[in-house]
Structure 1
Amino acid sequence: MKLEWIKSSYSTSSGPDCVEVATPDGSHVLVRDSKDPDGPRLALAPTTWATFLPYASEH
């Protein structure tokens, strides 16, 4: 299955540091480092991701 990865809205084209997320089937959220697209990925429950987002957007 080909995943559609979405970059953070805080990312710029000139900045190499970014996370990307994908939601392949709605049962989990995948998170990866954009600098290492074939590297490790986190798989989070949607409720865990939703709890994390407000914290992440503050920093």
Structure 2
Amino acid sequence: MDRGMDSYHLLLLLLLLLLLLLSLKTIITIIIIIIITFVHGFIPLVALSLSLSLSLSLLNS
């Protein structure tokens, strides 16, 4: 259980980093988010991540 939570937090941090670094490549970011969501099954997480990536892409364009 502890390992699961640690990997969850690590993936969340990686997601935020990817959103910042790959904000120009929003499609890749969305694909990564969808893959992580299917692995973990966190639908609220994917909704938050998608809204973050979409707002970042809107800010960049």
State the TM-score, normalized to the length of structure 2. 0.31
Tell me which of the two structures has the higher relative contact order, counting C-alpha pairs closer than 8 angstroms and 6 or more residues apart: 2
TM-score by length of 1: 0.32
Specify which structure has the higher proportion of strand: 1
Of Structure 1 and Structure 2, which has the larger fraction of its residues in helix? 2
